[in-house]
A and B are shown apart, each in its own frame.
Chain A
Amino acid sequence: MNAPPSTRAVIATLLGKDLRVELRTLQSVPAMVLFSTTIYVIFRFGLDRTELAGPLAAGVLLVTILFAALLAINRLFVAEREQGGFEAIRLAPVDGTALFFAKAAALVVYLVALEVVALPVFWLFFLDSGEGLLPLLPVLLLLDVAFAVTGALISPIATNSTARDLIGPLILLPLLVPPMIAASAAGQRVLAAAGPDYDRYGTWLGILGLYDLIFLLIGWAVFDFLLED
């Protein structure tokens, strides 16, 4: 008898599987990139501005990433549902929570891949100087983790309901208000027209980190109940 694999090994396997599938099918990330570029264009005309700084810059960038994240979150568990992945993880002698961590990690990878393209495009389209972008990176990373952990927790609920595309965003948007508040508050100051301003930068990073930690713990505690049948 072999011992069941460690949770870490299961997470690595599941994450590797998801990334391989994404690389072969290119289902999520290219769509997110295209989507966010189009949203920039819509904001350009919706706000009637060709240059952005401060709160408007942070708002346009973060809302665009949020919407792009919703696209990926909606699709996150579709393959599990349609091709029996939920049953497979239930039958396997492994901790089901590994699926939560793997999916959250996959989402972070997708979002970072999106930002690798979407951030330079944002700079090119709207910004005078890119000096605010560097201090924005930790904010974006913590925000990505917030999207990822809440997304990986809510997405299976939405995927297993009859109103899939509706339920996910409906629950996620209010849940994501606090990290959006913190990220916009930090982002609008580092993207200020007069150059980056670090007023309460640490506080906002702290709030983002706390949010990430709490939702990671909640996901860890309750995710198993989403798999039972």
Chain B
Amino acid sequence: MNLSLRVLAVATAVLIGVGFALVFFYVPNEADQGFIQKIFYLHVPLAVIALGGFVLAGIHAIRHLRTGDPVHDARAYVSIHTSVIFGVAVLITGAIWAKASWGRWWVWDEPTLVSFLIVFLLYATYYPLRYAIPDRERQGRYASVFAITAGAFVPLNFMAVRAAESLVHPRTFATADGGLTGKMWLTFLVCFAGMAALWWTLVRFELTAKRTSGQISRLRRALDGTAPAGGVAARIAPGATR
């Protein structure tokens, strides 16, 4: 377990290092936007992976409700947690890109970014929801219902926001499949793999940390002579367990 986490961490560092090296030294500046367009290699992979993480959390949540195994709840929690952190980075890099391209920190006619903000606002309520339900088993169940609902909401939301904008405003910059050359594709894919590895490492790290601290408190309780409790799931919302 620890060894593979270490391998994963090293692979992540290498992939991100190579990705950034490609961004700065290999891939040419895009003709229209110049150097600032290179934030694309950071912003887009972060966004795609954050959204993928949200959907993955929904799948873990389905498995949690089906099996009742709290491990799946812990996975859903950590997936959402990591994706929300990625989401902050997406909104910041998006704002920087908007400032550089259009001179303003926020533009409402960019449907992808607006959709992302709405999804982010929804998932930000996951924490107050969890912490407001004291009973741990019920907390897990309700959180899974939330994760499934929100996971289905993600594509629906993108559709509605896109419909509100696309016919009125022509898209200012095409997404990945538009005007990318071979070099750009290669760089994008390496950066994408790097960010995916980073997400995976963070998820694995947090799960391992929660499992370990769960084991420690179990051992401590065994030493005290009281009944053991909880596994990974016991560590999700520590404030609520007491």
Contacts and interface: CB of A to CB of B under 8 A. Distances in A.
B15 to A, nearest CB: 33
A154 B157 CA distance: 17
Contacts of A210: 156
Nearest to A221: B148
Interface in B125-171: 125, 128-129, 132-134, 138, 141-142, 144-146, 148-150, 152-153, 156-157, 159-161, 163-164, 167
A178 B128 contact: no
13 contacts: A154-B149, A160-B133, A161-B132, A171-B129, A174-B125, A178-B157, A182-B163, A204-B163, A207-B163, A211-B156, A215-B149, A225-B65, A225-B145
A185 interface: yes
Main secondary structure of the interface of A (DSSP, over half): helix
Main secondary structure of the interface of B (DSSP, over half): helix
B141 A178 contact: no
Contact of A222 (B145, B156, B167): B145
Interface in A166-207: 166-167, 170-171, 173-175, 177-179, 181-182, 185, 200, 203-204, 207
B21 interface: no
B125 A167 contact: yes
Nearest to A203: B163
Contacts of B14: none
The 9 closest A-B pairs by CB, nearest first: A178-B160, A161-B132, A174-B122, A163-B132, A174-B121, A170-B125, A222-B145, A181-B160, A171-B125
Interface residues of B, number: 30
Contacts, number: 90
Nearest to B134: A162
A226 interface: yes
Nearest to A210: B156
A226 B134 contact: no
A214 interface: yes
A181 B164 contact: yes
A15 interface: no
Interface residues of A, number: 35
B146 A181 contact: no
Contacts of A133: none
B118 interface: yes
A175 B160 contact: no
Interface string A125-162: 00000000000000000000000000001100100111
B89 to A, nearest CB: 20
Interface string B156-188: 110111011001000000000000000000000
A21 interface: no
A214 B155 CA distance: 11
Interface in A214-229: 214-215, 218, 221-222, 225-226, 228-229
Interface in B59-91: 65
Contacts of A200: 167
A46 to B, nearest CB: 21
Contacts of B146: 157, 171
A171 B146 CA distance: 9
B145 A226 contact: yes
A173 B117 CA distance: 13
B71 to A, nearest CB: 17
Given A154-B149, A174-B121, A174-B125, 16 more contacts: A153-B149, A161-B142, A162-B132, A166-B128, A175-B122, A175-B149, A175-B150, A181-B160, A182-B164, A185-B164, A204-B163, A207-B159, A211-B160, A225-B144, A225-B145, A229-B138
Contacts of A174: 118-119, 121-122, 125
Given A167-B129, A170-B125, A226 B149 contact: no
The residue in A181, A207, A218 that gathers the most chain B C-beta atoms within 10 A of its C-beta is: A181
A181 B138 contact: no
B141 A228 contact: yes
Given A181-B161, A222-B145, A167 B132 contact: yes
Contacts of A163: 128, 132
Contacts of B160: 177-179, 181-182, 207, 211
Contacts of A229: 138
B125 A160 contact: no
